[in-house]
């Protein structure tokens, strides 16, 4: 039992260290130039393909771009003159890391909000145990769900903890298809499991 506990703790610390280092890897800046133009500057310590999404306050995508070539630095002037006054969210995804920055267009100016970092959770399944680890950078209220094909089997309110390390023993379950879901407010991360 002590060996399993040590292996689990080693796994958790390794996952935590890797994700913590990755969190400083991506930065997104919006530098207003005028009432309707801004420089979007994205920097990353490692070169990767970037996915840039701009959403309005209702979550409707108003702009999407995938940078074809892996890059560590991206800078471009964007013209927002076609956008209506209101709130927007710019998201940049690089591998499993997402940086989000909100901004508002009002009174002929662009007000930029704070940057939020999101790192996708790690899920793993081995020897009848499913594990989930997550760094809650946005400090959102978290809930863990476990489903079978009929519906919800288990849920746990995790709260706003920064470090999440959860494990569920599935060794006594019947064969079938299951799903673990980590809900982070406006995001849902799912992990399918097939028990043979």
118-136 per-position pLDDT tens digit: 889 999 999 999 999 999 9
Task: Report the alpha-carbon angle 26-29-35, nearest 5.
Answer: 160
In the chain, what's the furthest Cα-to-Cα distance?
64
153-182 per-position pLDDT tens digit: 999 999 999 999 999 999 999 999 999 999
Mean pLDDT (whole number) for 5-33: 60
Q: Are residues 49 and 33 in the same domain?
A: yes
Comparison of pLDDT for 14 and 189, the residue scoring more: 189
Residue 8 confidence (pLDDT) above 50? no
Residue 48: give the domain boundaries.
20-118
Q: Are residues 152 and 102 in the same domain?
A: no
CATH number for the domain including 157?
2.60.40.10
27-70 per-position pLDDT tens digit: 999 999 988 899 999 998 888 889 999 999 998 999 999 988 88
Q: Are residues 102 and 34 in the same domain?
A: yes
Q: Are residues 114 and 188 in the same domain?
A: no
Quote the mean pLDDT of the chain: 86
Tell me what percent of the residues of the chain surpass a pLDDT of 90. 62
pTM, whole model, 2 decimals?
Answer: 0.70
CATH number for the domain including 60?
2.60.40.1930
Q: Are 129 and 172 in contact (CB under 8 A)?
A: no
pLDDT at residue 108 in the model: 85
Tell me how far apart the alpha carbons of residues 38 and 64 are, in angstroms, rounded to a whole number: 16
Structural domain contains residue 46: yes
Q: Are 103 and 88 in contact (CB under 8 A)?
A: yes
């Amino acid at each position: 039992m002590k060996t399993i506990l040590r292996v689990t703790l080693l796994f958790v610390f390794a996952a935590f260290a890797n994700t913590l280092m990755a969190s400083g890897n991506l930065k997104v800046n919006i530098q207003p130039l005028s009432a309707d133009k801004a420089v979007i500057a994205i920097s990353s310590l490692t070169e990767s393909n970037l996915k840039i999404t701009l959403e309005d306050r209702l979550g409707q995508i108003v702009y999407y771009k995938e940078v074809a070539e892996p890059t560590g630095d991206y800078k471009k002037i964007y013209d927002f003159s076609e956008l209506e006054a209101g709130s927007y969210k710019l998201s940049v995804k690089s591998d499993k890391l997402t940086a989000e920055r909100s901004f508002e267009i009002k009174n002929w100016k662009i007000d930029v909000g704070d940057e939020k970092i999101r790192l996708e959770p790690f899920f793993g399944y081995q020897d009848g145990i499913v594990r989930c680890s997550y760094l809650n950078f946005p400090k959102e209220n978290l809930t863990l769900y476990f489903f079978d094909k009929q519906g919800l089997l288990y849920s746990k309110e995790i709260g706003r903890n920064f470090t999440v390390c959860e494990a569920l023993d599935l060794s006594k379950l019947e064969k079938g298809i299951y799903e673990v879901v980590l809900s982070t407010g406006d995001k849902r991360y799912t992990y399918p499991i097939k028990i043979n």
